[in-house]
Amino acid sequence: MSSSEQATRPGIPNHVGIVMDGNGRWAKSQGKVRLEGHKRGADVARQVVRWARDLGIRHISLFAFSTENWNRPKLEVRALMGLLAMTLPKTLPEMRENGVRFRVLGDISPLPAKARKAVEQACAETCDNSAIDLILCLNYGGQQEIVAGVQHAVSWAQSQADPEKALAELTPETFRSMLWRHDIAPVDLLIRTGGERRISNFHLWDAAYAELYFSDVYWPEFSKQDLQLAVDDYAARERRFGKTSEQVNR
C-alpha cells in the first residue's frame, strides 16, 4: 500500500506544505553568511521529514527553490544548487531506512547537471518507499503551474470533437488533473516560518482550502514542538469547504 493510499489519523493533516523561510535572516542574526543559514535549514528539513512521519503525516512538501529565486545573487544561486547536489546523495540511505519516497514538483530542466542528476537519482532510488512522500518543490511557482495547466487544457480541448463545449464543461477536478500536481495529494495544511504572512506563489491551486499557519520562528530554529503546534492548531479547526457547521457535523 502506497503512502497516498494509507489512512491518516484523525486530526492529522494528510499533506503538509512548508515555506521554509528565514534562513538568511537567521544567519545574519548569528553573524554568519547566508549559506550557513541554508545549510542549517537543510539539516532541519531532514529532521522535519522524520517528525512528520512519526506524527502520521503521509505527504510533506518543502518549498526549496522558487521560479523567482533565480533572481537572487548568482553566487547564492550557485551555492544553493551546490548544496542540493551535495546533500541529496548523502541523505539517500536515511530516506531508504525511513521509508521516504522522494518526489519533485516543478521544472527541474534548468537546474545545473549535478543538481538535476542528484534529484533524478533520489526519485529513482526511493520510488518504492511508502511511509511518507517528501515532495521537494524546485524551480516551482504556483502561477506558472496554473498557466501550464491552462495550456494543457487548451491543447486537450482542441483534440476534442467540440473544443468549445469541452472547455465549457471543464471542472475544477478535471483541471487539477492537468496541473503538475495531478498525482500529488491535496495540501491540507500550509505552514510558513520566518514571520511573514503570505504564501509567495506556493501551492496556489490547493491553497483554496488549505489551512494556513504562520510561525515567527526562523526555519533553522524550527523544532519538533513547532511542528506539533502547527498540527495541533490544524486539528482544532473545523474544515467546512463552503458548508455550514451543521452540515459538516451531521
What CATH number should be reported for the domain holding residue 200?
A: 3.40.1180.10
Has residue 9 been placed in a domain?
no
Same domain, 49 and 90: yes
Kindly tell me if the per-residue pLDDT of 232 is higher than 60: yes
- Across the chain, mean pLDDT equals 93
Q: Which run of H or E residues covers position 47?
A: helix 34-55
Distance CA 78, CA 115 (A): 10
Same domain, 105 and 26: yes
Could you tell me the residue range of the domain that residue 165 belongs to? 143-184
Same domain, 161 and 209: no
Q: Give the gyration radius of the chain's Cα atoms.
A: 19
Has residue 249 been placed in a domain?
no
C-alpha grid cell, residue 136: 521537494
Has residue 4 been placed in a domain?
no
**Tens-place pLDDT, residues 71-116:** 999 999 999 999 999 999 999 999 999 999 999 999 999 999 999 9
Has residue 7 been placed in a domain?
no
Residues acting as catalytic residues: 21, 69
Same domain, 82 and 160: no
| 9 or 46, which is more confident | 46
Same domain, 155 and 197: no
Q: Label residue 117 exposed, middle or buried (CB < 10 Å: 0-12, 13-18, 19+).
A: middle
**Spacing of C-alpha 181 from chain mean position:** 10
Residue from 64, 144, 61 nearest 103 by CA: 61
C-alpha grid cell, residue 184: 500529488
Last residue of a domain, one of 184, 209, 244: 184
Check residue 1 and give its pLDDT: 38
Region 167-195: mean pLDDT is: 97
Same domain, 55 and 109: yes
Same domain, 41 and 59: yes
With beta carbons less than 8 A apart as the criterion, state whether 82 and 102 touch: no
**Tens-place pLDDT, residues 139-152:** 999 999 999 999 99
Check residue 132 and give its pLDDT: 98
Distance CA 72, CA 78 (A): 10
The pLDDT confidence band at residue 47, using thresholds 50, 70 and 90, is very high
Q: Label residue 97 exposed, middle or buried (CB < 10 Å: 0-12, 13-18, 19+).
A: exposed
Has residue 114 been placed in a domain?
yes
Same domain, 175 and 84: no
Total number of domains in the chain: 2
Distance CA 1, CA 6 (A): 7
Has residue 172 been placed in a domain?
yes
Check residue 2 and give its pLDDT: 43
**Spacing of C-alpha 220 from chain mean position:** 17
Has residue 120 been placed in a domain?
yes
Same domain, 97 and 220: yes
Encoded amino acid at 171, one letter: T
Same domain, 62 and 180: no
* pTM (2 d.p.): 0.92
Same domain, 45 and 156: no
Has residue 206 been placed in a domain?
yes
Check residue 238 and give its pLDDT: 77
Q: Which run of H or E residues covers position 60?
A: strand 59-66
Same domain, 134 and 151: no
Last residue of a domain, one of 184, 202, 217: 184
| Strand 59-66 to 15-19 pairing | parallel
